[in-house]
Structure 1
Amino acid sequence: MMAGIGFALKKLSSQDNLASRSLAGGHAIMIASGPWIVIMVGLAMLHILGRPLLDPMDLKVFSILVIYSFALSLVITSPISLDATLRVSRILFQRRFEEVHGIYLAAVFITTLLSLIAGTVVFFLLIGLPLGLGLAAIICVVQVSHLWLAMSFVAAIKQYGTVTSAFALGLSCSIIFGTSAAALGNGPGGMLIGFSIGLCISFCILNFLILKTFPGPLTALRDLPAKLREMRPVSATFIAAGVCSALAVWIDKIIVWQSNEGTAVADGLIYSARYDSPMFMAYLSIVPVMSILVVWLETTFFNNYRHYRDIVHSGGTLRQIDEQRASLAQNAVDTVFSAFLIQLTISVSLAVMAPLLADLLGLPYDAISVLRLALVGAAFHFLFQASCGVILFVQYGKAYLWLQVLFLVLNAAGTAIMLSNPDYLGLGYVLASIASGTLAYAAMRQALGTLNRLTFVVNNPAISG
């Protein structure tokens, strides 16, 4: 995350009226989970509207390709976004605003190139999709990747209304163009292209906003290779952490898809009806509380952390520095734990209502137990993400990397082991989330407790090199 959006969020959240606080929360939802919300809501709407227009199997192919595109794009863009975030945060602090333009365009170029290559390998070489359907899937991967990347830059822009409107417009266009393509008889490939057009519209608005906010000279094509060679990764640790973070979220689905729980559909695509939908619904259940935490992280925590850094840079006494560190740490620990308790209460309440939710969502009866486990696991996954957010904010790279590796390994191992009993489906994710969330919370407390060492030694270029 980048400090910057916090100024806009603070202005809204500090106003003592429901409308302003709701706007702050709504904007935080877009910043924290914008592409996720657009894709999942758009997918749900197109499912409902597409039933009279497409064969059920074609509709299933469309849904699976959107999920595959979302997963692939997240793995591609996570390390690029993390590296770009570190670069932009550094140059914004140094007030070298003109360099943001070049970093952004280089990131877009790399993201596009890797998306095209990865999409070609996955959809044509590994799955073997027909040409038209494969091209539609690759286009979707590119557009989702662009959205994820753009979100790592718009976090530094205060025009919250434009950001939120861009997603609302893109979502509307995705639904309109997707259903229109299906109505014209273009099948799942046409619906996927229509869906991607909406994503492209959202990206174009965000792209214009970024380039307008951070203008700069365009690099000639002949100079681009040299420029890219100069832009070596800021931190190999954060690059590796980004890859592990994205893989950790999807590794359990991939393992389930390859097991007896997986169901093959047309064109070599695999999904799990009993696992996929409950997991996605559980992820959506943490978005409201996560948005509240984003508002806090980008406003209160940022201000406290900035005050701590100001005392350090102004030559404050050790007592002044440690008092501010202790206040910052206590506030962070209390806030994250309180948010976790709220999320756990919500998750348990939803788990109790799982049969009703399954009926409303059209889930099979045997998915109710998975939904309950997924909701409980999502609460601890929230604790993991919240704690890692604080650790990432103070740039404790090694701890952040090892936590992502831990969750990746535990989620993979737990899911694989629990597949031996169909009744335990989803329990591996729960156990991995509980263990990782607890350790991440402890690591956050340890990072805040040793913040002086992180500031003066670990993150000091003069010492760490």
Structure 2
Amino acid sequence: MAGIGFELKKMLKDDSWFGLLKTYAYAGAISSGPWVLSILGIMLVGVISIGNKGATGTWLGEFLVSVTWLMSFSLVLSSLLQLVFTRFMADQLYMKNDHRILPNFIAALGLSTLVSGIFGIICWLVWFRALDFLYCTLMLMNFVLLCNVWLAVIFVAGMRRYKTILVVFLISYVSIAVLSTVLRAAGSNGLLTALLIGHTILLVSMLLMIFQEYTADRLLRFDFLKLKNIYPILIFIGLFFNMGVWVDKWMFWFTPATSDDVNGVLRASVIYDLPIFLAYLSIIPGMASFLLRVETDFVSTYQDYYSAVNDGATLGQIEDKRQTMTLSIRNAYTEIIKVQGVTVLLFFIMAEDIINWLELSPLYVHLYYIDLLSTAMQVLFLATLNIFFYFNFLKQAFWMSFGLFALNTIFTGLSLLLGPAFYGYGFALAIFITTIIGMVVLSNKINRLEYITFMLQRS
């Protein structure tokens, strides 16, 4: 996302408050991407549908839970390919093989469609076969579509057309909200149709942008599947990170005492799901800082450091570049903490009003507080993980992701045993511990960077 970051950075030359606000608004929306915008869109669909008094009830709940499951499992399944393909694309750009990117992307989309389609059909035949045929068909189509959306987002994130990207996202989710008013008479199937159309608009729009950006020497290439281009550890990093983010939700869904049956197959934990999804909306300012400071300021100093290494600079000059880069990392963390800290404080102050406005039980407030802190820490987790990727510290990134999954599983299990007063602490402790350890490891690595750069090179 450094390409977008550098373009947004130009907007900061406008020293006015409006210029600053506009830059952070663009950065927050783009860096948060479909994940946060989808939460906003689905919440809007819920609010609009609730206006249809007497007709919502079961089918609205079924729709909202269906979307949550679609998001969860599409993110996890697509993670098997996302980081591997991102690395392949980055390598091809570095080697000036731009003509190979588009045909490999088309092949990757085909593979994603095939794998997600087979996975979805198996789920249909094993667990969903007793449900309505149209509902299952829409779920399958939405699932395959979302897996492809997550893959396409990789490409558009690397483009500098931030205004177009933002407009595309907005059109997609506004379309979902508008279509939901037209199709809500058909119940959950109508809303799933609106979701399908909206995400189709999103995917097609992103594909058009990608086809305009890249050229191809042939229709299909499968270079990304060659052994020399596959980094198996990236598969597990992506998988464990996404499972680490979702495992606490799954455990609450499948624990009878904390969840309810929705349609005979899907389950939901109302007491746990709502606060965490509301809390995720608070990360937009922190993600904006992440994009502007890590993907822009840090990347500039990172490039300067390795340019000095490759150009044969003296050791003293290289050490100076490292110190400048270290300062940029420290400044990035500091700004993320400041921006997200102020945001969390504001949401803390407004928490009771937000819960009351949504007509939720006051019991949600305590869990909402915990989730606000957890999601804020997740921004720092992502920043640390991203910096590990830049330095190719893949083992450290793996253990950080695996640690999140393992600790979240253990601590969430303990919180379920201890009772409602401890709900939310599992994810909070897991993300806090792994983030702090990751930052300490990163600091130690950066302090030894010259040794790592020159003495630990592969022959």
* 1:63-74 equivalence runs, <5 A: 63-74=64-75
Aligned partner of 2:132 among 113, 117, 130: 130
Identity %: 24
Q: Is 2:77 aligned against 1:81?
A: no
Report the secondary structure of 1:268's partner residue.
Answer: coil
User: Shift in Å at residue 349 of structure 1?
Assistant: 4.3
Q: Is 2:241 aligned against 1:245?
A: yes
Going from structure 1 to structure 2, the CA distance change for 1:11 and 1:345 (only over 3 Å counts) comes to: closer
Paired residues, number: 454
Q: Is 2:408 aligned against 1:407?
A: no
Going from structure 1 to structure 2, the CA distance change for 1:210 and 1:422 (only over 3 Å counts) comes to: same
Q: Is 2:330 aligned against 1:333?
A: yes
Aligned partner of 1:254 among 246, 250, 253: 250
Alpha-carbon contact 1:124-1:134 (below 8 Å) kept: no
Worse-matched range after superposition: 252-261 or 144-153:
144-153
| TM-score when normalising by structure 2 | 0.93
**2: CA distance, partners of 1:402 / 1:216:** 37
Alpha-carbon contact 1:170-1:199 (below 8 Å) kept: yes
Q: Which residue of 1 aligns with 2:154?
A: 152
Residues 96-121 of structure 1: CA distance to partner in whole angstroms, max 9, x if unpaired? 21111122212211222222123223
Q: Which residue of 2 aligns with 1:116?
A: 117
2:448 maps to a residue whose letter is T
Alpha-carbon contact 2:128-2:265 (below 8 Å) kept: yes
1:438 maps to a residue whose letter is I
Q: Which residue of 2 aligns with 1:213?
A: 213
Going from structure 1 to structure 2, the CA distance change for 1:244 and 1:192 (only over 3 Å counts) comes to: same
Instruction: Flag as ranges the 4+ runs of structure 1 deviating above 6 A.
Output: none
1:235 maps to a residue whose letter is Y
Residues 258-309 of structure 1: CA distance to partner in whole angstroms, max 9, x if unpaired? 1110111223221011100101111221121111221122221111111111
**1: CA distance, partners of 2:330 / 2:293:** 12
Q: Is 2:24 aligned against 1:25?
A: yes
Q: Is 2:365 aligned against 1:368?
A: yes
Q: Is 2:200 aligned against 1:196?
A: no
Q: Is 2:4 aligned against 1:5?
A: yes
Alpha-carbon contact 2:301-2:325 (below 8 Å) kept: yes
Report the secondary structure of 2:363's partner residue.
Answer: helix
Worse-matched range after superposition: 355-364 or 228-237:
228-237
**1: CA distance, partners of 2:37 / 2:144:** 15
Alpha-carbon contact 1:24-1:295 (below 8 Å) kept: no
Gaps of 5+ in 1: none
Residues 103-159 of structure 1: CA distance to partner in whole angstroms, max 9, x if unpaired? 221221122222212322334423443321111112222222222211211122111
1:307 maps to a residue whose letter is D
**1: CA distance, partners of 2:259 / 2:354:** 23
| TM-score when normalising by structure 1 | 0.92
User: Shift in Å at residue 246 of structure 1?
Assistant: 0.6
Report the secondary structure of 2:2's partner residue.
Answer: coil
User: Shift in Å at residue 443 of structure 1?
Assistant: 2.2
Alpha-carbon contact 2:259-2:269 (below 8 Å) kept: yes
User: Shift in Å at residue 418 of structure 1?
Assistant: 0.8
Q: Which residue of 2 aligns with 1:430?
A: 428
**2: CA distance, partners of 1:449 / 1:119:** 47
* 1:342-353 equivalence runs, <5 A: 342-353=339-350
User: Shift in Å at residue 447 of structure 1?
Assistant: 2.9
Residues 66-98 of structure 1: CA distance to partner in whole angstroms, max 9, x if unpaired? 000001111122232211211121222222211
User: Shift in Å at residue 381 of structure 1?
Assistant: 2.2
**2: CA distance, partners of 1:39 / 1:433:** 23
Worse-matched range after superposition: 28-37 or 187-196:
28-37
Aligned partner of 1:169 among 168, 171, 184: 171
**2: CA distance, partners of 1:445 / 1:362:** 45
Report the secondary structure of 1:267's partner residue.
Answer: coil
**2: CA distance, partners of 1:428 / 1:280:** 16
Q: Which residue of 2 aligns with 1:441?
A: 439
Alpha-carbon contact 2:169-2:202 (below 8 Å) kept: yes
Going from structure 1 to structure 2, the CA distance change for 1:232 and 1:282 (only over 3 Å counts) comes to: farther
User: Shift in Å at residue 359 of structure 1?
Assistant: 0.8
Alpha-carbon contact 1:251-1:408 (below 8 Å) kept: yes
Going from structure 1 to structure 2, the CA distance change for 1:229 and 1:331 (only over 3 Å counts) comes to: closer
Q: Which residue of 1 aligns with 2:277?
A: 280
Going from structure 1 to structure 2, the CA distance change for 1:124 and 1:55 (only over 3 Å counts) comes to: farther
**2: CA distance, partners of 1:215 / 1:18:** 40
**1: CA distance, partners of 2:453 / 2:76:** 30
Residues 163-220 of structure 1: CA distance to partner in whole angstroms, max 9, x if unpaired? 11101111111112222111xx322122111112111111111111111100213436
User: Shift in Å at residue 229 of structure 1?
Assistant: 5.0
Alpha-carbon contact 1:348-1:376 (below 8 Å) kept: no
Q: Which residue of 2 aligns with 1:107?
A: 108
**2: CA distance, partners of 1:388 / 1:292:** 15
2:364 maps to a residue whose letter is A
Worse-matched range after superposition: 379-388 or 186-195:
379-388
Q: Which residue of 1 aligns with 2:143?
A: 141
Going from structure 1 to structure 2, the CA distance change for 1:342 and 1:6 (only over 3 Å counts) comes to: closer
Q: Which residue of 1 aligns with 2:182?
A: 180
**1: CA distance, partners of 2:346 / 2:224:** 50
Residues 313-348 of structure 1: CA distance to partner in whole angstroms, max 9, x if unpaired? 111111111211122012202321342244234324
User: Shift in Å at residue 27 of structure 1?
Assistant: 3.1
User: Shift in Å at residue 397 of structure 1?
Assistant: 0.6
**2: CA distance, partners of 1:127 / 1:414:** 31
**2: CA distance, partners of 1:152 / 1:453:** 33
Alpha-carbon contact 1:391-1:447 (below 8 Å) kept: no
Going from structure 1 to structure 2, the CA distance change for 1:186 and 1:299 (only over 3 Å counts) comes to: same
User: Shift in Å at residue 312 of structure 1?
Assistant: 0.9
